Chain A
């Protein structure tokens, strides 16, 4: 081939520019750690970055939301355990004072204790988490129980997403657990029946009211089982979510991040080829007949 000066210069220029471009791209990958900046760099990877990025964001938020709900349900669980302890004390009192060896004064003191247990339970059921009444169903802005144990909340069960598209109840129905809605006993009613029997020094009445307290204890124990169930659902959802997040993160990294070793070695390679191309170009410019014609 006949080689002319413009060919030499144009090609040298094009090759140097290409070598510089490669060196700059390699440098950008090393400094940013990212393989994809513009969608055109790798269209499929860019799309995956978008969807996985949003998926990770969603899983992250679900994890945080679940943690907040978990806090509420744990508090509810603690409150119900206290209710359960208090009911056990009421049962113990009732069994003890049911024996006719106790005097009217002793039974009357027992009645006072039962009344205090009843109001303590009402207080526990008005537990708030961050200003929110957790036992009022969806009506969370006012105390769900008044001093006499009347339920003022609603029948709603709050729900949150614990995995994309998967809803989980995050509250228990206090009207079922404490007020016997749907065929149970009214815990406050049972306590008040016991208290009345004790105040009236009515031995037979006390013994027959114990049954109500037993059912109450069972009812609260059932509520505790469901809070336990909710908590374990949260736990496993968080574990599954964190696995899902890890794998989404892995996919995202694989698609978007530059392999730092590969990128560094590419950079070195690109720089060396740039240097070589500069050296060769400078040399080829120097070779001309003009140097020898004097």
Chain B
């Protein structure tokens, strides 16, 4: 074979194919400029080996497409799942905690306000314990306090059950992402065995890895065969090669009927309970908010309700009412602190005249000694330790600290994740300007090769006319 016109035509035809492939790659890149997880592809062209011609050296034989590769930075990509998981966990927790307004210090009808109002009504009553209007006022403020405890407990518990609904939704997302990661592992193996590059499947797999990491904090690892498996925090595998584990949720009686996670492992062993707090990502954030700061707040409000009401009941029962009868309990409560804030009620048997102002019997109408005892509990330690004011202050501050920490962590993690995303985009992202240049470059080359073909054609024409 030599540098004859026919072989020029043939090699130009092949070169046209290579350049149009380069245009397709650029076109595909432009089309996927906004596709999440897409890595820019590069058409690698190489000159065909020359052939020896007329003993005067080698003459080239045009260009062909060697392969289409992805521009990826493994170093950055390996860090991204962890960063996404951390960001998603702290952001989810922060959002969940910020959504709870029941512990806002300024809230109308909130616990701080109503505890203050309750003691105020006792204080006012103490000045004239026989006054029926002041007694009625104490009864009213006790009712308001009870309502405030009930509403605070309801808000916190609604926030926690609301997180449960999110958890259910996220479980579905985790399961489907795990399944699709396993499926993609299989498809990529098939594509590779057929000799393909499977670039797009690998992008999809990377997206599935990112999704799983974002949802659960799982980290990817690659085996020798190129399968990407994922391990949950702690090391248990969620996806192994072509098989995926899954999560399910069942009510947990030990946690007030809220959901607990169960892991169905990839190897098909029977489901086991799984600690949701141990997860990272969105799921971990949901559990951290539900069983962390919100649970602490719910428990402390329960304790405060129980201790405060028990203390008040004891004092009320040790005194005597206007008819010199021993006082009846002010509040009705469950036997233990659990659920006290939601179940506390005014004792239905309590009337305004039944409030026990006196410590002696027969009770004088002006005797306020028992009222003073009630007032003194405002700054005296309750059963649980601190006084009610310090306790509610601690509850608000502790909850606020958790929320502020989650928020600070969320901003930090978001900055980290977005920095890594930028680094990844710097390598793998599509620049439309660049692709336009690539496209134009390929177009010009294509045009030039076409010109070669037409020139060769003209030369052949000339040759034919001589021959004719």
A212 CB within 8 Å of chain B: no
- Total interface residues on A, CB under 8 Å, equals 62
Does B429 lie within 8 Å of A54, measured CB to CB?
no
Of A214-222, A224-232, A286-294, the segment with at least 4 beta carbons within 8 Å of chain B is A286-294
Query: Given A38-B101, A60-B120, do A4 and B430 touch, yes or no (CB 8 Å)?
Result: yes
Of B160-168, B271-279, B394-402, the segment with at least 4 beta carbons within 8 Å of chain A is B394-402
Does B431 lie within 8 Å of A161, measured CB to CB?
no
Q: Least Cβ distance of B108 to chain A in Å?
A: 12
Does A38 lie within 8 Å of B431, measured CB to CB?
no
Q: Which residue of B lies closest to A54 (CB)?
A: B116
Within 8 A of A (CB), among B398-416: 398-404, 406-407
Does A54 lie within 8 Å of B115, measured CB to CB?
yes
Top 3 A-B pairs ranked by shortest CB distance?
A: A39-B400, A40-B403, A43-B400
A61 CB within 8 Å of chain B: yes
Which residues of chain B have C-beta atoms less than 8 A from A62's C-beta?
A: 123
Which residues of chain B have C-beta atoms less than 8 A from A50's C-beta?
A: 105, 112, 389, 392-393, 396-397
Does B430 lie within 8 Å of A5, measured CB to CB?
yes
Does A293 lie within 8 Å of B440, measured CB to CB?
yes
Does A288 lie within 8 Å of B433, measured CB to CB?
yes
Query: Given A156-B367, A165-B376, do A65 and B432 touch, yes or no (CB 8 Å)?
Result: no
Cα of A38 to Cα of B189 in the assembled complex, Å: 52
B361 CB within 8 Å of chain A: no
Contact of B399 (CB < 8 Å), options: A4, A37, A39, A288:
A39
Cα of A1 to Cα of B422 in the assembled complex, Å: 10
Q: Which residue of A lies closest to B33 (CB)?
A: A5
B437 CB within 8 Å of chain A: yes
A42 CB within 8 Å of chain B: yes
Does A140 lie within 8 Å of B422, measured CB to CB?
no
Q: Which residue of A lies closest to B437 (CB)?
A: A289
Of B43-51, B126-134, B305-313, the segment with at least 4 beta carbons within 8 Å of chain A is B126-134
Contact of B105 (CB < 8 Å), options: A14, A36, A60, A158:
A36
Q: What are 25 inter-chain pairs, A to B, with CB distance below 8 A?
A: A2-B426, A2-B431, A3-B426, A10-B418, A38-B104, A38-B400, A39-B400, A43-B401, A47-B400, A48-B393, A50-B397, A53-B113, A54-B119, A54-B392, A61-B124, A69-B127, A138-B364, A139-B364, A139-B365, A140-B365, A159-B369, A256-B105, A289-B433, A290-B432, A293-B436
B445 CB within 8 Å of chain A: no
Does B124 lie within 8 Å of A158, measured CB to CB?
no
Q: Least Cβ distance of B102 to chain A in Å?
A: 10
Does A68 lie within 8 Å of B392, measured CB to CB?
no
Within 8 A of B (CB), among A97-111: none
Which residues of chain B have C-beta atoms less than 8 A from A136's C-beta?
A: 366
Which residues of chain A have C-beta atoms less than 8 A from B390's C-beta?
A: 51
B187 CB within 8 Å of chain A: no
Can you name 14 extra interface pairs (CB under 8 A) apart from A40-B399, A58-B123, A256-B105?
Answer: A2-B431, A38-B101, A40-B400, A42-B400, A46-B396, A46-B397, A47-B394, A51-B389, A54-B392, A55-B389, A58-B116, A130-B131, A159-B368, A167-B372
Does B112 lie within 8 Å of A138, measured CB to CB?
no
Query: Given A3-B431, A5-B429, do A10 and B130 touch, yes or no (CB 8 Å)?
Result: no
Within 8 A of A (CB), among B336-379: 358, 364-369, 372, 375-376, 378-379
Which residues of chain A have C-beta atoms less than 8 A from B427's C-beta?
A: 2
Does B366 lie within 8 Å of A139, measured CB to CB?
yes
Q: Least Cβ distance of A37 to chain B in Å?
A: 6
Does B396 lie within 8 Å of A158, measured CB to CB?
no
Query: Given A46-B400, A158-B366, do A37 and B126 touch, yes or no (CB 8 Å)?
Result: no
Contact of A57 (CB < 8 Å), options: B117, B366, B394, B425:
B117
Q: Which residue of B lies closest to A164 (CB)?
A: B379
Give the A-B contact count at a CB cut-off of 8 A.
198
Q: Which residue of B lies closest to A57 (CB)?
A: B116
Cα of A46 to Cα of B110 in the assembled complex, Å: 13
Within 8 A of B (CB), among A30-46: 34, 36-44, 46
Within 8 A of A (CB), among B85-132: 94, 97-98, 101, 103-106, 112-113, 115-117, 119-120, 123-124, 126-128, 130-131
Q: Which residue of B lies closest to A14 (CB)?
A: B418
Cα of A1 to Cα of B424 in the assembled complex, Å: 11
Does A140 lie within 8 Å of B396, measured CB to CB?
no
Does A154 lie within 8 Å of B431, measured CB to CB?
no
A160 CB within 8 Å of chain B: yes
Which residues of chain B have C-beta atoms less than 8 A from A156's C-beta?
A: 364, 366-367
Cα of A39 to Cα of B379 in the assembled complex, Å: 23
Q: Which residue of A lies closest to B422 (CB)?
A: A7
Q: Which residue of B lies closest to A140 (CB)?
A: B366
Q: Least Cβ distance of B70 to chain A in Å?
A: 14
Q: Which residue of A lies closest to B408 (CB)?
A: A40
Does A49 lie within 8 Å of B105, measured CB to CB?
yes
Which residues of chain A have C-beta atoms less than 8 A from B14's C-beta?
A: none
Contact of B128 (CB < 8 Å), options: A5, A10, A61, A68:
A68
Does B422 lie within 8 Å of A43, measured CB to CB?
no
B34 CB within 8 Å of chain A: yes
Q: Which residue of A lies closest to B439 (CB)?
A: A293
Which residues of chain A have C-beta atoms less than 8 A from B422's C-beta?
A: 7, 10-11
A137 CB within 8 Å of chain B: yes
Does A4 lie within 8 Å of B429, measured CB to CB?
yes
Query: Given A53-B116, A58-B119, A136-B366, do A256 and B106 touch, yes or no (CB 8 Å)?
Result: yes
B421 CB within 8 Å of chain A: yes
Cα of A289 to Cα of B433 in the assembled complex, Å: 5
A132 CB within 8 Å of chain B: yes
Cα of A158 to Cα of B432 in the assembled complex, Å: 87
Which residues of chain B have C-beta atoms less than 8 A from A9's C-beta?
A: 34
Does B393 lie within 8 Å of A39, measured CB to CB?
no
A64 CB within 8 Å of chain B: yes
**In the complex, which of the residues B33, B97, B104, B105 has the most CB atoms of chain A within 10 Å of its own CB atom?**
B105
Query: Given A34-B106, A39-B399, A40-B403, do A165 and B379 touch, yes or no (CB 8 Å)?
Result: yes
Within 8 A of B (CB), among A74-103: none
Contact of A289 (CB < 8 Å), options: B33, B392, B401, B432:
B432
A284 CB within 8 Å of chain B: no
Within 8 A of A (CB), among B179-204: none
Does B436 lie within 8 Å of A290, measured CB to CB?
yes
Q: When each residue 160-171 of chain A gets 1 if its CB lies under 8 Å from chain B and 0 otherwise, what string results?
A: 110011010010
Does B104 lie within 8 Å of A4, measured CB to CB?
no
A208 CB within 8 Å of chain B: no
Does B128 lie within 8 Å of A132, measured CB to CB?
yes
Q: Least Cβ distance of B249 to chain A in Å?
A: 28
